[in-house]
Copies of this chain bind each other. A is one copy, B any other.
Amino acid sequence: MEGTSVLAQPRQEMESAVVRFAGDSGDGMQLTGSQFTLATALAGNDLATFPDFPAEIRAPVGTTYGVSAFQINFGARTIRTAGDAVDVLVAMNPAALKVNRSDLKPGALIIVDTGAFNAKNFAKAHYAADPLEDGSLDAYRILRVDMSSATEKAVESHGLTKKEALRCKNMWALGLIYWMFGRDRQSTVDWLETKFGKTPQIANANIAALNAGHAYGETAELPTGVRTYSVPAAKLPAGLYRNVTGAEALAWGLVAGCKLAGLPMTFCSYPITPASQLLHLLAGAKSYGVTTFQAEDEIAAICAAIGASYAGALGITSSSGPGIALKTEALGLAISVELPLVVVNSQRGGPSTGLPTKTEQSDLFQAVYGRNGDAPLAVIASRSPHDCFEVAIEAVRLATTYMTPVMLLTDGYLANASEPWQLPSFADYQPFPVAFHSDPEGFHPFRRDPETLARVWAKPGTPGLMHRIGGIEKDYDSGNISYDPANHQRMTDTRAAKIAGIARDIPAQGVEQGSERGRLAVVGWGSTYGPISRAVANLRNAGEDVSQVHLRHIWPLPANLGELLAGYDTVLVPEMNNGQLVKLLRAEYLLPAVGLSKVSGKPFKIAELETAIHAALEGREP
């Protein structure tokens, strides 16, 4: 095929671009992606990334279910999601091509390692014929490079085994992409040198591959349509930034929250995808005085957390759907004895084991309603990776101020997605120190603060406050067991009033974009924030009267929410579930809100939302 040099051509400017690196689990695509992310951040772009791991630990090489991918969306404007569709796909083998092809933009550029495109791998990927030859990809631009041998050649001089040499392939590909988007290689060079400090040979080989990939772009004769791009820096507020995943921000937020409360943290959990990362991250925070406990199961985990809170630490437990389900009974105990507790639910596809590695928002009902008895608690949700930090602090504040369990909802997408975060200064956060009760005068364990209705927190070890608590109904005035009918009514009302009262202690619901009243409000919660924001922004730019309202507090709902939503002709509630928040809003406000549900284990695409909003504006079923 005829090629023309690109040297002449200037870089084509793009406002934003979506690149996806895809290959075998062993190909190091996640590393490649995070290196590109870093270089892109340093280049001043706004960005969002999302990794897509295989469900299997280490599936056989070359299989479709063994494909690991990393997607980044970066731009000169604010970036809200990892991107609907891909501009540039790097496919290290046929399986990677097969799995990711459906997400390509028309005319997208596909860069393939022809070294891996052989009969054996076609078979593993269940390709009847070579997809590069059967014309099935005519709609795209394809760059064929034998990265394998190119890499081997590049690292020749470093005396690696063939196996080791081929492991540098991802750096070769990264070099090429760096060239294509005019990125600086230095940050990756530094990283390689520290990572392989003990084996300079490996470090140098990788660097060589990186440079070779870059050089290839500069010198090789590339087919028409393959060119270089520039994505100018975004206008971001000045300040210090880092890249952060939701899991990281959540872990740090819990640590920060406990410091603001002046409490020790006892984090009790049982591993489960996608919640385990929180356990891992906090296990690494021992130096901050965090105690972590891997319990024998989720029930033991929440019970240990309750025991820790009873003893005067902040008990925190974390899991995902099935594990949260197991905590249900114990959650009732925490509600009944009114101890602070933070329960983090990293939602995943359900029901049952469902889709452990896929994201979903289908545990809202369980969080708000899913217990025996009238058992109210507070529920809050984070909207973006870095928002997890704020929400974690809020969870600690509510739990300790109101002596109540707080359910914090996040999801598999937020846990793994990353975005740049303008780092706050901890000094700007208002402490909310806990005052343990110590005065025996007129003490009983269910004495309440008249304002918050929170009971006193009297911890064992305090002289003169010895008392007994439990899950049987308690007398309002003494805390002793009581079977009295009127007292049960009073305690039930009080438990409900205490949680309802939180509405007075949270900000009034604001409007993210658009006017305070109008034709249509798109009401969301949790990780749908990114795509909703972009979709609404796009439609507003197109002149549509659309507003965005995004909830952090799910229960209780902000005091002004009903009134606010009443101001719109139509309220559309997109959720990654079969319609849960929408039911809550309808029940609370008798509001004819309409749901838009997506239950595919994948986040909403901006386009899907735009279509639905258009439909809603035209009064059609979304």
Contacts and interface: CB of A to CB of B under 8 A. Distances in A.
Interface of A: 55, 65, 320-326, 328-329, 332-333, 335-337, 347, 349-358, 360, 362-363, 365-366, 368-375, 470-473, 483, 485-486, 488-489, 492-493, 495-496, 577-578, 583-584, 586-587, 590-592, 598-602
B325 A355 contact: no
Question: Of residues A325, A366, A601, A602, which shows the largest number of chain B Cβ atoms within 10 Å of its Cβ?
Answer: A325
A360 B491 CA distance: 14
A349 to B, nearest CB: 6
Nearest to A372: B321
Contacts of A362: 372-374
B354 A336 contact: yes
8 contacts: A326-B329, A351-B374, A354-B373, A358-B485, A358-B488, A369-B370, A485-B601, A485-B602
A349 B357 CA distance: 38
A95 to B, nearest CB: 14
Nearest to A357: B483
B372 A350 contact: yes
Contacts of A325: 328-329, 332, 371-372
Nearest to A337: B352
A275 to B, nearest CB: 12
Given A483-B601, A599-B489, A600-B486, A473 B354 contact: yes
Nearest to A375: B351
B374 A369 contact: no
Given A578-B492, A586-B587, A587-B583, A373 B350 contact: yes
A329 B471 CA distance: 22
Contact of A372 (B363, B372, B488): B363
A90 to B, nearest CB: 22
State the 10 A-B residue pairs at the shortest beta-carbon distance, nearest first: A350-B373, A321-B372, A351-B373, A352-B471, A370-B370, A485-B600, A353-B471, A351-B375, A336-B352, A587-B587
A292 B372 CA distance: 25
Contacts of A353: 333, 336, 470-472
Contacts of A489: 598-600
Given A325-B372, A350-B372, A372-B324, A488 B584 contact: no
A117 to B, nearest CB: 25
Nearest to A355: B473
Contacts of A373: 321, 349-352, 354, 360, 362-363
A335 B355 contact: no
A351 B363 contact: no
A559 B350 CA distance: 27
